[in-house]
Chains A and B, each alone.
Chain A
């Protein structure tokens, strides 16, 4: 039963998406020490943008990656620079309540503008079958794009100037400031990258699953769980956590039903929080 290749493949496809969802959330949490409660709604927002561009303008959803991601980057930068930066050093209660409140606004506006009915892009790209295993091509593409984007972020963090600055701020904010790194801009950049990753995930989500505002909380929950499994603020952590959660949900979902799978994710998270609060991969820097 453990070796059923279809369940394994489903788990990996789901897990890649989870990793991509969590990596931006984890970056913001790790560097800014802010829990971005808007992450799920940002994903849904870009999912809707992708859907409507496909429906009305016949834009290929994959192309929307190049449109939506920069849009969300700009939105994230403005939000952090103008609003969240002002309270970023206040206690978690303040920052969390603020992003929670902003999420309420965004969520509510999306419900009014787009309505919550699930919408789905149908691309009919066919599917790939190997023996008994059937892999829908759209999900397969989404999986590789999700993995590719996650690795791209890893590479950017390692090699680019902005990436090194973000890592430096994460390691020691005050020392980084003394070295001449503009903290406010780095914070805004970090939040913007988090939003960009959410935007990219939204596009991939719209290609593979129906989009509805109802699942924004669910997506946020996935980001929590993956972060706690993999540890905060590291790309490899998010990748391992995401794939682990994808596989766990795929197996438990097949055996005991989807609700149990979600519940198990939360229970696992709470147990891990109690026993290993730094995650399975420890507290590595964002590199």
Chain B
């Protein structure tokens, strides 16, 4: 029995070797560096949590979801509305997470029966619909003008630290979820769905329930992240909350790290934010084009991602061929 399982699973444990030192290093950033670096570290944690979440549905389950921004935006609006209604900040984050999870469960029940292209289109349409809803339902969402949130007291340095550690915790919890999922019965079922949904159904995986569970897990931390970043920025508007750029960026980070690997998305998010900061900040007008170039590079030169199967083998194979050619 054990051997048949291991043929579906991928090698994994080595992820912790770099993840733990990376997490410790990130946690120390706000203590030793100024607010700018703390802010960048917050982005790394935020995108890592989002990419890990996407990986559950896009990597483990193999469903091409582009609805990340729908969950982030919903979390942001839910958190903002609750906070403005007088709920304490932390409680509002938790409530926003619950709202997002509930929404994902209902939505997943509806759209997970589609497959492939139709699912992809449906998931993009969800983001667009949510944005239109947010900008037209003015009485609740403030419409196109957006919503202001109370500014966090204690000055920018203190606030920067608080929000960094909040995002950091979300990232750690998302990573733990990923590690758990990899070993769990559910994760095994999801990998079966990814390889062959009909066959998975035949051998007794509860396909529908597993897919909905995966969708909810992929939305959960998006909701938390959205709510935290709404409090962090103290202002949200429909195009920022339901950003089409975000909905593309997050899968790209996961692919960059290696879709379907357990902790690869963290690495993808880290590399992406570093590239974005070094390149895009110098060419502000070209940020979208840069994302496009990264995608083209990724798809043609790094199809399995940084941690994906066979990168080192392929590189060493290419080196060997080069050596043979030159000899």
Contacts and interface: CB of A to CB of B under 8 A. Distances in A.
Interface of A: 29, 33, 35, 83, 86-87, 90-94, 96-98, 100-109, 111-112, 217, 221, 224, 228, 257, 259-260, 262-263, 266-267, 269-270, 273-274, 277
A97 B248 contact: yes
B244 to A, nearest CB: 7
Say what secondary structure dominates the interface of chain B: helix
A97 B132 contact: no
Interface stretch (B107-115, B148-156, B176-184, B228-236): B107-115
B207 interface: no
A221 to B, nearest CB: 6
A92 B116 contact: yes
B273 to A, nearest CB: 17
**Would you call the interface of chain A mostly helix, strand, loop, or mixed?**
helix
A92 B65 CA distance: 10
Contacts of B114: 273-274, 277
Given A93-B58, A93-B64, A101-B295, A270 B286 contact: no
12 contacts: A33-B117, A92-B120, A101-B299, A102-B296, A104-B288, A105-B296, A217-B128, A221-B125, A221-B128, A259-B132, A274-B110, A277-B118
Contacts of B293: 101, 105
A88 to B, nearest CB: 12
B25 interface: no
Contacts of B135: 259
Nearest to B136: A259
A108 B287 CA distance: 8
| Most central of B58, B125, B255, B294 by chain A CB within 10 Å | B125
A266 B124 CA distance: 10
Given A33-B117, A263-B133, A270 B122 contact: yes
Given A92-B120, A273-B118, A274-B111, A97 B295 contact: yes
A259 B143 CA distance: 12
Interface of B: 58, 62, 64, 66, 110-111, 113-114, 116-118, 120-122, 124-126, 128-129, 132-133, 135-136, 244, 248, 251-252, 255, 259, 285-289, 291-296, 299-300, 303
Nearest to B244: A217
A266 B292 contact: no
Contacts of A107: 288
A274 B132 contact: no
B299 A87 contact: yes
A269 B299 contact: no
A96 B64 contact: yes
A19 to B, nearest CB: 18
A98 to B, nearest CB: 5
A91 B119 CA distance: 13
Given A104-B248, A259-B135, A266 B125 contact: yes
B190 to A, nearest CB: 15
A90 B116 CA distance: 12
A97 B255 contact: yes
Closest 3 A-B residue pairs measured CB to CB?
A101-B295, A105-B292, A104-B292
Contact of B129 (A83, A93, A270): A270
A104 B121 contact: no
Nearest to A228: B121
Contacts of A93: 58, 64, 120, 251, 255, 259
A108 B288 contact: yes
Nearest to A263: B132
Contacts of A106: 292
B297 to A, nearest CB: 9
A99 B124 CA distance: 14
A86 B300 CA distance: 8
Nearest to A106: B292
A35 B120 contact: yes
A104 B118 contact: no
Given A35-B117, A94-B299, A98-B299, A104 B291 contact: yes
Contacts of B124: 224
Contacts of A221: 125, 128
A224 B121 contact: yes
B299 A270 contact: no
B139 to A, nearest CB: 14
Between A96, A102, A111, A221, the greatest number of chain B beta carbons within 10 A of the residue's beta carbon is seen for A96
A33 B121 CA distance: 13
Residue with the highest number of chain A CB atoms closer than 10 Å, among B58, B62, B124, B293: B124
B243 to A, nearest CB: 12
Contacts of A83: 296
B136 A263 contact: yes
Contacts of B259: 93
Contacts of A269: 121-122, 125
